[in-house]
Structure 1
């Protein structure tokens, strides 16, 4: 290429300029196409326009980008012409092209594709003559005009309830012909459709469909670049933490055709089962079809392997005779080509050493591979594939650990349907088990309304005829997804697996009426808002809401966790406030409790009344009387925690929130409290007004409460020490840690430490025995981080409260930031929500400073983190680098943090 900076890279049988190592530049699709060519796999020739060109397009505009790539694109087309022996724009034997997106991270269906590019009224006649198949030529032209009119020219339904305008025209022509299927339309019908489509575009868009192939090509390239910033792509990037700055490559490739008759086909396949992880080659294909027919779910696809076909037939309740007659596998129908495909999939999996998602086309008996990529898979499949490949010797331990996305372990941790509930449940439909899991929710038919319902706290199941990329937002908030059409490789199935969402596809008995907002199965009509349940592991759909039970955590999951524990350095504790939570945390592998929020115990049962009695007390004597009622309750709670976590550390934080949180602020609640306390409503209102603060999170809370009312700290300390001695007497090995919250000066810490140590001495003297304990503090104010060396001389451990540290450092409240943070994220002002993933440059700098200062005066000081960041994989990696000893997170995120800690240790 003659350009000073190369933006276009060709791939083909005679020359290939890219490789799998160039994924950031060529995108995943372009890099893997080049790699397949290098492996000698038959691939239609083409070229890739790099992601750098997309960056220019985004930052400098359309004209600047096209000027940079124009000459290289011309040379790329010339290369494809030479490789394929056809001329682009030749009316007699036209070279047709596909134009596809391809970011460095797989984003299935989120960006745009155009097929059959290069056709016009003259070229379609030449294609028909050359192929000897008039129907094929006009079907290809019909598809091209429809796709180009939608993707490039922007002809969309006017309202969400409306049908696709092109599909409306198709339905009209089918009705006139008295046929049901697109495949029943002949060449004359398809020719009529092309004319009607062009008229529709002219009427709706106000300009003619372009007939010059080069105009078509430049329009398609621009459309693919623009699709990087369409709504569904932005949403997908937000959901999967893909940076906006990456951009997409554009892959221009010679077309091969799966719709050239019964010796042609197209399909999608996986080298292993994407739902379960089983080492089984599987996939779907259609005879005499193009690729979008398979993923769109409009036609029932056939299975690639005979075993897969037999499994599908059992699920779909199709007899073996009917299966062989109507849905034979590719292995049965074209055994030679199946053997070639099997060889290709084995070669690719062995080369990439990961499960591959393949696209292929068979054109008149010749197999062409169109794409390979690391396949999307469920969390369960992710774990099984990693551990099986490790056992098979394909990958090492470090690679196996890195293959599993920590957050996807959520798929395995949450409940499944209760076996007793299933015995009583009524199966109303069956489909394909597209993505495992159990989901119950209320039926919603539109993606945007699913968002609205979910924001109101409602559980929803999104029900569609078939999904499209525009449904992504609704799919992301739904508990489950049910489609009437589509196979295991349809859009709904692939995206649901990528999200870890329960999904049942292709439930043929389900008839969806979008206008009426109903789902009909047999004689039963289900309306919007009715409850249904989905089992994504079996494909069964149940009426009503089903109970659930805990998931099984052994097998490959247990082996993965053992492997993670072998490699990680960070300990992983849990945030747990009750013995029940502690039991769950220990079951998930927690190595202690990093945060027990003692105030949460005050809200149970009648305890709140004792707290309110304390708040209403006029003097210390009155407060002590109320606290005496809380003492045995707290002591019992702590004893349960020590027993549940025997042998492991339990970190108990003293009372943290301001007192206003314990009193009602509405008039009705104040009336009830007055009646319970035996005082006048006016007294309650007056005390509530006295407790009101302009910014309570910066007000009278944390150690400030204990300093103002030391009797509170005394009660809590006494409860801890008495509980510890009781638990030890009953056989528990107690490791108690007491944490003083919200200190900003060493004097604040010392004031509270004096109270705690005084109580400890009293309890130990009364009991004639003692225990060892640690006394430390939370680092959650910026000043505490700045003077951590001073505090570290007195405190025996630090635990970073990164929720408050983030609020105080960044200057906004997480309770209020939701009003502007989403807009910040969309505009790229922040790459991540700082309350979800720690701000490493700002808040993180304070953490690193505090660790260094603390260890400068106490080298063995224990340092951990107990904010919600403790369960975020990216934050865990940062805490590993910062030298912390442990992270603490909610019980259900403990396995996620264990895996993230191992990955951080491997990364170094």
Structure 2
């Protein structure tokens, strides 16, 4: 009977355990519970560790605690699910079985653990890591005995206490301290014992023992508690620290910049330690399967002999180039080159790997898709298509749209560089040219940038705490660290210009100075850095356009022959083949139009006619019109403006050569055209022969408490129809002039700020009447459209009524955002940071569309507009048209085009193509055309 009860109890336990959620996924010895497509649950690192295990690579055994535990941890006051401990114990037991060591073993070789984060999207350096976990006063002795290497064992123990003390126990520098407390202890010990700053690997076993004692005292002094001896207590503390680091300041700032939702959480990866610090036949490194800075097909990275991985990436020691492994550790290097080929063939993308060599044997600790500059992404994509690793659609997706403008960024003027003196050299870590005022502290750099200064962040080496300053800076310069250091890694991802490991740069934090090339520079002085060449110059150097700009816009053949230019043209051809939605430009001059067309713009989505009134003496005629007291005088002034407007429109139409041009009628309130200082008003009075008192009174009368909501847009033309008449006449006379000269023309007249159908109807009547008059007077015929901007909420929700009179809608998302949110973009700077930090605004709503709010208004307008006018043309002309996320949303809405500033046209084209490929709507005919264009481009490149 007792046996039966026991059996039933065991069965109940088994049934209960079967129902318990699985929170721990193991890998090792060629087997894994997970795989590479489980990033949502296992995070990127855990999923890829499982995947590498499954394809037979040498990965130390371990397990992943899922992202679900992170969510549970924050939902339950930082506690864990009850079943987690037993699942972790099973995970450790699996490691012990595979590795042949016991966790916490004080008799033999103890199993030591590495505890790392693993977000779904890589967040390098933003969260916490603990290595060598499991050591205490007993296990360190057994490790020394098992390895017959006392120095190695105590080196690991010293590292563990420092890392655990910092990450888990919170022993960090106070605001009045310049140095990290543990580093200060080491530096003081070295100075006292050796009289110099020796390399950590030169510390003896006795040195490390002394430092362990000093570190423990520091922990006790700072926390009031002794360092924990129990390995399981250490493991739970480390896991909790990693989960907690998901919400630390630098992780929050990073997620905000890259749009990573806080709800995703992080996984925790617990992996058996392998040791790169056992001696001269061991080492650690970080490498990319291709060069992430310029895209060259070469193993690129760094390593250190007799070091752990943190030594390489922390920037404290400048590592050796990974190519040097061929001589220092030849067998391991040969194995690494084999792994490189396997990884690229399997993942079909450039990989960023971490590895350790323990006593000559290579172990892979991580792989992830490598962060890359825009130039590298372009070359990777083009080369991998040629190598048949990926197809052309994948190549389009591999180029991040929000980084594409890096390719158009200026470089230093060649003549300036020839005259300038190089004051220091470092490693080229982030291509491009940057000049700015130097700041040695992230907070001061951010504050200066917020004031509008161009800033260079200069540090001995950067750490994740410097993230805010790195975001604010034009470029980053470090005295130490290599191309895999924190500075280099983050700079590449952000597209920042970066020079690392410039040993000739001496940074003095205390005196706020930088010494280089025999010169002393104070904070606020200018330096210039070339992240392509790795050079540093004193002062500010002038720049010149990139080779893509000179090739496309200026037609320079030398630029057109470069590989970067040809790859860019090829990418744009692929985009044209995939894109369903067109891209236009916001342009007010023929030169802007020509630039945009060179980038592939299909027309103009917005010409702001008010910009034309400020040129030359036109402003005087405009002011005369505003100051006129009756219609006759207003018409006289407008008559002076007519030829200027006509000439401008003719120049734009000619530059477009038949492409459509959406021209917005006068939009801003009239007071913006009048002078506001007494001196300016007196000058105007003398110029146009009006009493200064009259001008002052008119300025007073036109003053508006909230111009955003005042007498502007279509309201002006309803009050003063003669303004709309003059502008329509100028547009249509320019169109007639084009027709007579054989220039194709397609004008689209846009009425701004419409909220009522009747507002638009009154304007449409004027425009049609003027068009008929011009065609009759000039004896020509031309086609044109009349439409409106949807930029106030009422216009969106009554779009069906408005569509009765509109042949097209163009969403003016700048004003639509202002009126929908009740926020002025000019005034939101005072609270934007608070709103983003509190997750009210996921992003600045004036930079990236508020799709759940403003986007819903757009969706209503699209649906209602099409219900009345099936073929209505739909576009967007706010600056959101150049934001990749906003472009994707517009594609989903089914808009005909987006419009943006000329230099954002390639970004919008790429984003539109990616949206079409991702949802499978890329036109089939275009895919065939694409293959043809690729063959042509390849033949052209070979010639």
Distance, in Å, in 2 between the alignment partners of 1:228 and 1:644 is 52
- Separation in 1 of the partners of 2:139 and 2:688? 88
Choose which of 148, 152, 155 in structure 1 pairs with 2:171: 155
Q: Which residue of 2 aligns with 1:584?
A: 595
1:667–1:141: structure 2 CA closer, same or farther, 3 Å change rule? farther
Compared with structure 1, are the counterparts of its residues 526 and 750 closer, same or farther at alpha carbon in structure 2 (3 Å cutoff)? same
Alpha-carbon offset, residue 681 of structure 1: 4.9
Aligned position for 1:207: 225
* Mean Cα deviation higher: 668-677 or 275-284: 668-677
Number of the residue aligned with 2:824? 813
How far is the alpha carbon of 1:819 from its aligned partner? 3.4
Q: What residue number does 1:10 align with?
A: 26
Q: Which runs of 5+ in 2 are unaligned?
A: 1-16, 549-564, 920-943
- Aligned: 1:73 with 2:103: no
Map of 1:212-227 to 2, 5 A cutoff?
Answer: 212-227=230-245
Q: Which aligned pairs between 1:42-191 and structure 2 lie closer than 5 A?
A: 42-63=58-79, 65=80, 67-92=82-107, 93-159=109-175, 162-176=178-192, 177-181=194-198, 182-191=200-209
Q: Find the aligned partners of 2:791 and 2:567 in 1 and give their Cα distance.
A: 38
Q: For 1:772 and 1:66, how far apart are their aligned partners in 2? A: 69
What's the CA shift for 1:67?
A: 3.1
Say which SS state the counterpart of residue 42 (structure 1) adopts: coil
2:880 to 862, 869, 885: 869
1:800-848 CA-partner distances (Å, limit 9, x unpaired)? 1122222222333333334334333322334333322223333223222
Match of 2:527 in 1: 532
What is the aligned counterpart of 1:891 among 892, 898, 902?
Answer: 902
> Where does 1:358-397 land on structure 2 (aligned, <5 Å)?
358-397=353-392
- d(CA) in 1 for partners of 2:366, 2:581: 40
Q: What is the CA RMSD across the aligned residues, in angstroms?
A: 1.8
Partner residue, 1:419: 414
- 8 Å contact kept, 1:359–1:369: yes
Structure 1 match to 2:569: 558
Q: Which moved more, 1:558-567 or 1:600-609?
A: 600-609
**Number of paired residues?**
884
Q: Is the 8 A contact 1:32 1:372 kept in 2?
A: yes
Are 1:611 and 1:626, in contact at CA under 8 Å, matched by a contact in 2?
yes
1:453·1:460 contact (CA, 8 Å) conserved in 2? yes
Q: Give the SS at the match of 2:187.
A: helix
What is the DSSP-based 3-state SS (H/G/I as helix, E as strand, rest coil) of the residue aligned with 1:256? coil
- How far apart are residue 754 of structure 1 and its match? 1.9
Q: Matched residue of 2:537: which SS? A: strand
Matched residue SS, 2:365: strand
Q: Distance in 1 between matches of 2:532 and 2:291?
A: 12
**Which residue pairs with 1:320 in the alignment?**
none
Q: Deviations over 1:288-308 (max 9, x none)?
A: 001111111222211222xxx
Of 354-363 and 547-556, the range deviating more from structure 2: 547-556
- Counterpart in the other structure of 1:710: 721
Which position in structure 1 is the counterpart of 2:349?
354
Structure-2 residue corresponding to 1:603: 614
Deviation at 1:664, TM superposition (A): 4.0
Question: Does 777-786 or 272-281 show the bigger shift?
Answer: 777-786
Is 2:636 the partner of 1:654? no
Query: How far apart are the structure 1 equivalents of 2:60 and 2:606?
Result: 58
Kept after mapping to 1: 8 A contact 2:331/2:360 = no
Indicate the SS of the match to 2:110: coil
From 758, 766, 784, the counterpart of 1:773: 784
Alpha-carbon spacing, 1:432–1:788, altered in 2? closer, same or farther (3 Å): same
Q: Which residue, out of 251, 256, 264, partners 1:246?
A: 264
Rounded Cα–Cα distance in structure 2 between residues aligned with 1:337 and 1:377: 26
Tell me which of 426, 435, 451 is aligned to 2:430: 435
1:639 to 2:650 alignment = yes
Quote the Cα distance in structure 2 between the aligned partners of 1:676 and 1:203.
78
Say which is worse superposed, 676-685 or 552-561, in terms of deviation: 676-685
Q: What is the distance in 2 between the residues matched to 1:623 and 1:544?
A: 53
Describe how 1:3-42 pairs up with structure 2 within 5 A. 4-13=20-29, 15-42=31-58
Deviates more, 1:730-739 or 1:195-204: 730-739
Distance 1:382 1:14, change over 3 A: closer
Measure the CA separation in 2 of the matches of 1:351 and 1:658: 60
In the alignment, is residue 304 of structure 1 matched against residue 322 of structure 2?
A: yes
Judging changes above 3 Å, is the alpha-carbon distance between structure 1 residues 365 and 598 closer, same or farther for their aligned structure 2 residues? same
Confirm or deny: 8 A CA contact 2:584 2:898 kept in the other structure.
Answer: yes
CA contact (8 A) 1:14 1:83 kept: no
Q: Residue 568 of structure 1 aligns with which residue? A: 579
For 1:789, the equivalent position in structure 2 comes to: 800
Partner residue of 1:259 out of 277, 286, 291 = 277
Q: TM-score, normalised by structure 2?
A: 0.91
The match for 1:310 is: none
Distance (Å, rounded) in 1 between the aligned partners of 2:696 and 2:213: 76
1:694 is displaced (CA, Å) by 2.8
Matched residue SS, 2:102:
coil
> Contact conserved, 2:439 with 2:456, CA < 8 A, in 1?
yes
Deviations 1:34-67 (A, max 9, x none): 001101111111110000100111222222x253
SS class of match (1:733) = coil
Conservation of the 8 A alpha-carbon contact between 2:30 and 2:55: no
Offset of residue 107 of structure 1: 0.4
1:398 to 380, 393, 402: 393
1:518 and 2:501 matched: no
The answer to whether the Cα contact below 8 Å between 1:161 and 1:514 also exists between their aligned partners in 2 is no
> What is the aligned partner in structure 1 of residue 538 from structure 2?
543
Q: State the SS of the aligned residue for 1:20.
A: coil
Cα displacement (A) at 1:656: 0.7
The TM-score with structure 1 as length reference comes to 0.95
What whole-Å deviation, never above 9, does each CA across 1:463-513 have from its counterpart, x for those lacking one?
111100111111111111111111111100010000011101111111100
Q: Does 1:747 align with 2:742?
A: no
In the alignment, what sits opposite 1:445? 440
Higher mean alpha-carbon deviation, 659-668 vs 12-21, is at 659-668
Could you tell me whether the CA contact under 8 Å between 2:20 and 2:83 is conserved in 1?
no
- C-alpha deviations, 1:380-434, integer Å up to 9, x for none? 1111111211121111122111111111101102212222222222211111110
1:158–1:684 Cα change, 3 Å: farther
Asked if structure 1 preserves the Cα contact closer than 8 Å seen for 2:438 and 2:457, the reply is: yes
Between stretches 40-49 and 863-872, larger displacement belongs to: 863-872
Q: After the TM superposition, which of the residue ranges 181-190 and 516-525 deviates more from structure 2?
A: 181-190
Distance 1:174 1:681 in 2: 78
Aligned-pair distance for 1:680? Answer: 5.2
Per-residue deviation, 1:126: 1.5
CA contact (8 A) 1:3 1:72 kept: no
Give, in whole Å, the separation in 1 of the partners of 2:753 and 2:246. Answer: 44
2:517 and 2:705 map into 1 onto residues whose CA distance is 60
Q: Which residue of 2 aligns with 1:312?
A: none
Change (3 A) 1:573 1:121: same
**Secondary structure, aligned partner of 1:67:** coil
The offset of 1:362, in angstroms, is 0.4
Structure-1 separation of matches of 2:543 and 2:221 = 54
Kept in 1, the 8 Å contact 2:396–2:574? The answer is yes
Structure 1: gaps of 5 or more residues: 306-328
Runs (4+) off by over 6 Å: none
Distance in 2 of aligned mates of 1:219 and 1:111: 15
* Structure 1, 811-820 or 412-421: larger mean CA deviation: 811-820
Report deviation, 1:90. Answer: 1.5
